[in-house]
Amino acid sequence: FCGDALFFSFARGIPSNFNVFARVLRDISQSFFMPLFFFISGYFTPTSFNRKGRYVFYLNKAKRLFFPLVLETTLFFPLAILMSQAISGLPLRYRLNPGPCWFLIWLLTMNFFYDTIRTPFRSDSNNKQIRAHFPTTYTRLLFGIIICGIPTYIINEIVLKGHKIYFGMPLTIGSLTCNIFMFNVGVIAYENRWLESSIRKQLDIPVWMLRLVTLVESCVLCALRGVMKENALLNFLFFAVSGILCLDMSLCLLQLFQENCNLHTCLSKKLTSASYTVYIVHFPLVIAGTSAFVHLYNHIVPTENNILFPDSPVSSSTLIGYDNGGIIQGCGWLVVNFVIHSLIWPLSSAIKKNAVLGIFL
């Protein structure tokens, strides 16, 4: 439903308030979604490796990471591609693609490098570890710019300009260098027990100030998104600010969940158990839901106002109604979101209970 989506979308490039909202929502979620995932993965890697040993560690990764990656690459995402081709009226072509599970490729790679580089370093005669204090505001600002911001600008706008994917990873804010960096920060956080104490007490500024700064960074990022292509300097500033936001937003959410959302209920346990499976199997359902919306819309409106896909699963058709169809687009997004979540969580929970699939998913 996001007009700028790379895969199976409609109303692409159409000026509407919903498309503006979708871009803002996407940028904000990209600032923390995968960086925070890799941080958490890095945080739990040492304890998993130490507890299980090398052989069981890799065996577990094969079951929990490699098998789902193969399943997504050969079944779920190709199925979604076939569905998008069918709704677009294009020839059906089976294509291997990891889709949204690209992160499993990178996580397997980072686990391997943790074993081959970090483990020998930690197991030498002095049992060395990287000792580090909790990151200050200045540290986050510095690393946000020089590791998460500027390198992303160089990669996206110079080295790989025109490419949207790099070894499966979408090239956007909070990707590549930021993900690699955050995985290592997660390892360092575990070694220095950052999350075993209150984050609030370890901050060098009040929590309200951290949240305010993060809000300002988000607003600046959204403002720069609209003008970044007009000027090279503004484009550079967009990526620099995004790098800082990736670290501050991740820290904000860690602090929030540590103090206010660390709940242990029957519902939270079920949702936690099914969440990984939800991510693995969600894409065909998303395409099916969006396809159902397109079918329903085309059935209701006059033929001349139909959503058309002339040569690809990405359409630039304008919807009818106020704001170039933005109202209909937004309402459809809400309804399809609700329906898909209503279906996918019970489905994933049932898959988890399966004696065979539950081992891997």
286: nearest Cα among 333, 348, 351: 333
Look at 40-54, 83-97, 210-224 and tell me which has the smallest mean pLDDT: 83-97
Q: Write the burial class of residue 292 (CB in 10 Å: 0-12 exposed, 13-18 middle, 19+ buried).
A: middle
**Does residue 121 register a pLDDT over 70?**
no
Tell me what the mean pLDDT of segment 284-310 comes to.
88
CA distance 152 to 96: 27
- 191-235 tens-digit pLDDT: 999 999 999 999 999 999 999 999 999 999 999 987 877 788 999
Residue 297 contacts residue 87 (beta carbons within 8 Å): no
pLDDT at 125: 46
- 334-354 tens-digit pLDDT: 999 999 999 999 999 998 888
CA distance 172 to 34: 11
**Does residue 44 register a pLDDT over 80?**
yes
Tell me what the mean pLDDT of segment 106-117 comes to.
90
CA distances from 300 to 265, 279, 324 (A): 44, 32, 17
**Does residue 239 register a pLDDT over 80?**
yes
DSSP 249-277: HHHHHHHHHHHH-----HHHHHHHHHHHH
Q: Which residue has the higher pLDDT, 357 or 280?
A: 280
**Does residue 134 register a pLDDT over 70?**
yes
Scanning the structure block, which residue is given the tokens 């895969």? 7
CA distance 114 to 150: 25
Look at 16-25, 44-53, 194-203, 239-248 and tell me which has the smallest mean pLDDT: 16-25
**Does residue 175 register a pLDDT over 60?**
yes
Region of residue 172 (left: phi > 0; alpha: psi -120 to 50; beta: else): beta
- 311-326 tens-digit pLDDT: 778 888 888 888 888 8
> pTM for this structure?
0.89
pLDDT at 2: 67
CA 103 to chain centre: 9
